[in-house]
């Protein structure tokens, strides 16, 4: 039986207390992931790590938006279609496209648009893998003579890209926002796919939802590693329906210590 680890966004900005968008509990999650990889390197066949990567001028960052007084929204501000139509919040770039995006986001039942602290900026320390995980990945590579796979997401600035498999609202003209069938095919080579990373409330949940919706052949292979993922403070409820659906579809939820026991 072969297996793959799918590790979501285990980066400095999410997993270190000095990170721009630190997720409480993520440091301990990283330690457990690293221990799992080091202690069972010979039993792990494939590892995919994802890298949330943004420009400063991103639709989910404050600098992208303003109000009539020239003020930018504070991090953790929610922006609705009504806010945009009433010009409570005004996009400074691609205004028509942004209005269409917010409308499509809401009509599709996605998470409402949210402003985050600027994070995982391209080329920054915050966008790099947490050192503890990076060292464990290097150890695994040395033991197995195979490289881990790194997949970026979020570089297109006019759509959120929580889940690794596609943007929240794909742009038909931008391939990087569309369904990543190459990654799905890569994971489909394995009998079991262990899903973990940050944050449980957002990027892990949306990656899971995209698998449920767009890769049904992989659902029976999925295992969610529960002690290797944590919520953005106060926002865990957003993903509750996604995890409920996963349970209904018989996705196992398992702690890391039970994987190779």
Judged by DSSP in three states, 102 sits in helix
DSSP bridge partners of 49 = 7, 150
User: 162 in a domain, yes or no?
Assistant: yes
Please give the distance of CA 213 from its chain centroid, rounded to a whole number. Answer: 16
**Per residue in 119-146, pLDDT tens?**
999 999 999 999 999 999 999 999 999 9
Q: What is the DSSP letter of 10?
A: -
User: 31 in a domain, yes or no?
Assistant: yes
Give the count of beta carbons closer than 10 Å to the beta carbon of residue 77: 15
Helix (H) or strand (E) holding 16: none
Instruction: Please tell me whether residues 45 and 21 are part of one structural domain.
Output: yes
Helix (H) or strand (E) holding 35: helix 26-39
| φ, ψ (nearest 5 deg) of residue 212 | -60, -40
Q: State mean pLDDT over 18-40.
A: 98
Contact 29, 230 (CB under 8 A): yes
Instruction: Please tell me whether residues 145 and 243 are part of one structural domain.
Output: yes
Q: What is the DSSP string of 191-256?
A: SEEEEEES-TTTHHHHHHHHHHHH-HHHHTTEEEEGGG--PPTT-GGGGHHHHHHHHHTT--EE-G
Whole-number mean pLDDT of the chain? Answer: 97
Judged by DSSP in three states, 188 sits in coil
Instruction: Please tell me whether residues 42 and 66 are part of one structural domain.
Output: no
- 245 vs 111: which has the higher pLDDT: 245
- On the question of pLDDT at 98 being above 90, the answer is yes
Instruction: Please tell me whether residues 7 and 134 are part of one structural domain.
Output: yes
Helix (H) or strand (E) holding 7: strand 3-8
- On the question of pLDDT at 242 being above 90, the answer is yes
User: 245 in a domain, yes or no?
Assistant: yes
Task: Give me the CATH number covering residue 200.
Answer: 3.40.50.850
Instruction: Please tell me whether residues 167 and 218 are part of one structural domain.
Output: yes
User: 120 in a domain, yes or no?
Assistant: no
Q: State mean pLDDT over 223-228.
A: 98
- On the question of pLDDT at 247 being above 90, the answer is yes
Instruction: Please tell me whether residues 164 and 179 are part of one structural domain.
Output: yes
DSSP bridge partners of 121 = 54
Lookup: tokens for 105: 């986001």
Look at residue 261 in the predicted model and tell me its pLDDT.
87
CA angle 211, 212, 215 (to 5 degrees): 50
Instruction: Please tell me whether residues 197 and 243 are part of one structural domain.
Output: yes
**250 dihedral zone (left: phi>0; alpha: psi -120 to 50; beta):** left
User: 12 in a domain, yes or no?
Assistant: yes
Look at residue 110 in the predicted model and tell me its pLDDT.
86
User: 121 in a domain, yes or no?
Assistant: no
Q: Within 108-202, where are the H helices?
A: 131-144, 181-187
Domain interval for residue 221 = 3-55+126-258
Token look-up 């949210």 returns: 114
Lookup: tokens for 48: 């995919």
pLDDT band at 109 (very low <50, low <70, confident <90, very high): confident
Closest among 8, 11, 43 to 27, alpha carbons compared:
11
Distances from the Cα of 20 to the Cα of 5, 23, 55, 116, 236, angstroms: 26, 10, 14, 9, 19
Instruction: Please tell me whether residues 138 and 225 are part of one structural domain.
Output: yes
Rounding to the nearest 10 degrees, give the CA dihedral for residues 192, 169, 62, 93. 150
- On the question of pLDDT at 212 being above 90, the answer is yes
Instruction: Please tell me whether residues 157 and 92 are part of one structural domain.
Output: no
Instruction: Please tell me whether residues 211 and 101 are part of one structural domain.
Output: no
User: 119 in a domain, yes or no?
Assistant: no
Q: Last residue of some domain: 92, 114, 136?
A: 114
């Amino acid at each position: 039986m072969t297996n793959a680890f799918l590790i979501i966004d285990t980066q400095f900005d999410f997993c270190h207390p000095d990170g721009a968008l630190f997720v409480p509990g993520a440091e301990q999650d990283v330690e457990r992931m690293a221990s799992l990889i080091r202690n069972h390197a010979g039993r792990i066949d494939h590892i995919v790590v994802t890298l949330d990567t943004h420009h400063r001028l991103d639709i989910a960052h404050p600098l992208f938006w303003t109000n009539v007084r020239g003020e930018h929204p504070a991090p953790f501000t929610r922006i609705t279609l009504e806010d945009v139509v009433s010009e409570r919040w005004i996009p400074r770039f691609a205004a028509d496209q942004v209005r269409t995006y917010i409308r499509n986001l809401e009509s599709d039942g996605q998470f409402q648009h949210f402003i985050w602290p600027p994070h995982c900026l391209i080329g920054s320390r915050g966008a790099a893998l947490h050192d503890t995980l990076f060292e464990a990945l290097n150890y695994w590579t040395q033991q197995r003579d195979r490289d881990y796979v790194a997949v970026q997401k979020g570089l297109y600035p006019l759509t959120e890209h929580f889940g690794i498999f596609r943007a929240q609202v794909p742009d038909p003209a931008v391939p990087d926002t569309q369904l990543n069938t190459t990654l799905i095919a890569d994971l489909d080579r394995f009998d079991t796919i262990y899903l973990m990373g940050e944050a449980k409330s957002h990027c892990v949940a949306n990656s899971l939802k995209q698998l449920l919706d767009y890769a049904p052949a992989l659902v029976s292979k999925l295992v969610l590693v529960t002690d290797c993922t944590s919520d953005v403070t106060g926002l865990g409820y957003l993903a509750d329906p996604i995890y409920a659906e996963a349970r209904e579809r018989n996705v196992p939820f398992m702690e890391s210590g039970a994987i190779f026991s």
